[in-house]
Amino acid sequence: MSKRVRQRPLLTATLIAVSCLALVGFGSKDDDRGRGGHDGGAPPLTVPKAKCGPNDHPETALQGQVPAAMRAAGFQGFNCNLELLGQSRGDGANWQTTEFKDREHGHHGQGWGDRHGDTHVCAYHGTASPSRSGPNRTQMGSRVVDITDMRNPIHTASLTTTSMLDPWESLKVNERRQLLAADNGQNGAGGPEVDIYDISDDCRFPQLLASLPVGTGADGGGVVTPIIGHEGSFAPDGLTYYGGGRVVPNNYYAVDVSDPTQPKLMGAWNVPQVATGARTHGLSISDDGTRGYFVSIGSVTPAGITDPAVIANNGLVIYDLTDFQKRRANPQPKVVGEVYWKDGSVAQHTINVKIRGKPYVISVDEGGSGGTSSAAQQAAACAAGMTPFPMARIIDISNEKNPRVITKIMHEVHDPANCSKVLPDLVGLSIFTYGTHYCSVDNRHNATTLACGMFNSGIRVFDIRDPERPSEIAYYNPAGTTTASPGSNHNLGNNWVAGGPDWCSAQVHLDARKGTLWTTCQDNGVLTLKFRRGVWPFPESSTPRGEQN
């Protein structure tokens, strides 16, 4: 076991009418309209399309769609305002990514290969559990990839402790304490272990601090049986790690990691509507640690979508977490506010942000109206005039007792009016397809840009400076692979098809200084991309370390 981690001080006009120059980020007298002003007309149902460059390969059908003929012929990919710089496929990837920049010496250079800025930029991502591995797999566990030179990503380590073998959706970095952590999410429902690594010395080679069970009594904390790993996230101060189990007993739990060599359970609880079948999943925490923005996984049967007697249970719950933050005896979360909806299900995660100084939560679903996986659910959603695919939404939390959904970020494939053009293309596939999964912002304290992994729709980037009228500015949908990646989860069921579009499901990490992003897609592994000049960043965009997702 390595040294104890060092303690660091805690740092306290409409978009569719914007000119083409403003849309791609050039200066214009109309720019203020793209940052919050509009003409008062009703916003469009779907986000305005990106204006692509002359050498791009834009989508040929509906926004977000890969038509059946392209799937059958071998999908060659789409790109708009993003170009590929580098790739590290390895054995593939699964659900989540996180990032750490281990040192910074100022901003002397601006290029993608600039070594006068970050000494090392480390990309971390999970892979499928060894029990789900495909044939010819060479490496297990969570991969560490040095992307300092984005044209030449280098795999430097694989982490194979209990939780890192398959962290599912729990892999997170805390910048303040320079820690990497995950809970045991193997195959989506692992055990009570929490793994913590020190990345302060050289992020390319994390040093193990702990790989221990919590909630069993052996950790010296509370006893809750069982603790199930699946999702997870740090409080910003790095002293508490919160997990969400998603399966029975469907609880959230708080782990004291003030001593990262001895994680200790503080408490666990259920979401308010557990009696109606609601469960737990992803979350985010306020800067001061006293507020938690937790999802409530919900769904309804096809018959219940339009039945007013069937209440919605999928949505957002805001908690007061002061008891945990202040380490009070017998800590209990207190519900502050809730909001639920039926035009989405299997709520995935949240990002608490400010846009133009006003507080919002960006909430992302993993399932469409009525559910995730059956043709009957999709047909019922379409018949009810609801989208069959999951999407992100922006929620105004100015009144945290009464959070209010103000925006749904929908593509043309989400529009129920297009169901007849979309669903026939997906016959034989079971889950996710055109759904949103994980999103990130450029800066939680001043969010201008939202970037999302959207499965078969690829990597999508949106201007959210006017949160009521977002617009799309770029996308990249990689070519399909002809051989399966043995560390990917895309082979669940019958969803991987040779030459078919990838599952792009992970967080996207933006870099405003370089005008780049990186993420993973499950078959293609790590992808590093560069924006076309003038598209992004916007003049007010910034990407401070630790302030994305």
Could you give the percent of the chain with pLDDT greater than 70?
89
pLDDT at 30: 35
pLDDT at 547 > cutoff 70: yes
pLDDT-based confidence at residue 545 (cuts at 50, 70, 90)? confident
Q: What is the pTM of this model?
A: 0.90
Contact 64, 462 (CB under 8 A): no
Q: What's the gap between Cα 362 and its chain centre?
A: 11
Q: What's the gap between Cα 50 and its chain centre?
A: 21
Average confidence (pLDDT) over 112-135: 79
Tell which wins on pLDDT, 377 or 351: 351
Rounded distance between C-alpha atoms, residue 146 and residue 265, angstroms: 33
Is the bond into 486 cis (omega within 30 degrees of 0)?
A: no
Average confidence (pLDDT) over 151-162: 98
Q: What's the gap between Cα 273 and its chain centre?
A: 24
Take residue 330 and report the two structure tokens written for it: 């017998």
Average pLDDT value over all residues in the chain: 89
pLDDT digits (tens, 9 = 90+) for 404-425: 999 999 999 999 999 999 999 8
pLDDT at 518 > cutoff 50: yes
The DSSP letter of residue 295 is E
SS3 content of the chain, % helix, strand, coil (to 5): 10, 30, 55
Burial class (CB in 10 A: 0-12, 13-18, 19+), 261: middle
Does some domain include residue 549?
yes
Does some domain include residue 376?
no
Average confidence (pLDDT) over 303-326: 95
Contact 241, 194 (CB under 8 A): yes
- Picking from 30-34, 61-65, 83-87, 429-433, which range would have the lowest pLDDT averaged per residue? 30-34
- DSSP letters along 239-278, please? SEEEEE--STT--EEEEE-SSTTS-EEEEEE--TTGGGT-
pLDDT at 376 > cutoff 60: yes
pLDDT at 39: 56
pLDDT at 494: 81
Contact 204, 157 (CB under 8 A): yes
Does some domain include residue 537?
yes
Take residue 501 and report the two structure tokens written for it: 């579009």
Contact 288, 325 (CB under 8 A): yes
Does some domain include residue 446?
yes
Tell which wins on pLDDT, 451 or 108: 451
Contact 270, 280 (CB under 8 A): yes
Average confidence (pLDDT) over 200-207: 96
**Which stretch of DSSP H or E encloses residue 340?**
strand 334-341
pLDDT at 501 > cutoff 60: yes
pLDDT-based confidence at residue 44 (cuts at 50, 70, 90)? confident
pLDDT at 548: 72
pLDDT at 381 > cutoff 90: yes
SS3 of 17, please?
helix
pLDDT-based confidence at residue 132 (cuts at 50, 70, 90)? confident
pLDDT at 116 > cutoff 60: no
pLDDT-based confidence at residue 38 (cuts at 50, 70, 90)? low
AA letter at 15: L
Contact 128, 135 (CB under 8 A): no
pLDDT digits (tens, 9 = 90+) for 55-77: 999 999 999 999 999 999 999 99
pLDDT at 108: 33
pLDDT at 18 > cutoff 60: no
Residue 429, C-beta contacts closer than 8 angstroms, at least 6 positions apart: 494, 495, 497
Long-range contacts of 403-407 (CB under 8 A, 24+ apart): 403/316, 403/318, 403/337, 403/338, 403/339, 403/361, 404/339, 405/339, 405/341, 406/360, 406/467, 406/468, 407/43, 407/467, 407/468, 407/469, 407/470
Residue 113 has a CB neighbour count (10 Å cut-off) of 12
Residue 345 C-beta-side C-alpha neighbours within 13 Å: 26
Average confidence (pLDDT) over 455-480: 98
> Which residues constitute the domain of residue 502?
13-95+437-549
AA letter at 498: A
Does some domain include residue 543?
yes
Rounded distance between C-alpha atoms, residue 289 and residue 326, angstroms: 9
pLDDT at 19 > cutoff 90: no
- DSSP letters along 458-485, please? -EEEEE-SSTTS-EEEEEEEPPPPSS--
pLDDT at 373: 67
CA dihedral 299, 303, 308, 313 (to 10 degrees): -10
Long-range contacts of 400-404 (CB under 8 A, 24+ apart): 400/291, 400/318, 400/336, 400/337, 400/359, 401/336, 401/337, 402/337, 402/339, 403/316, 403/318, 403/337, 403/338, 403/339, 403/361, 404/339
The β-bridge relationship of strands 438-441 and 231-234 is: unpaired
| Closest CA relative to residue 349, chosen from 460, 246, 457 | 246
Does some domain include residue 152?
no
Residue 139, C-beta contacts closer than 8 angstroms, at least 6 positions apart: 90, 91, 127, 158, 487
pLDDT-based confidence at residue 36 (cuts at 50, 70, 90)? very low
Number of domains in the chain: 1
Does some domain include residue 86?
yes
pLDDT at 117: 56
pLDDT at 223: 87
Burial class (CB in 10 A: 0-12, 13-18, 19+), 286: middle
Residue 334 has a CB neighbour count (10 Å cut-off) of 10
Count, residues in the chain = 549
pLDDT at 213 > cutoff 50: yes
Does some domain include residue 518?
yes
pLDDT at 2: 37
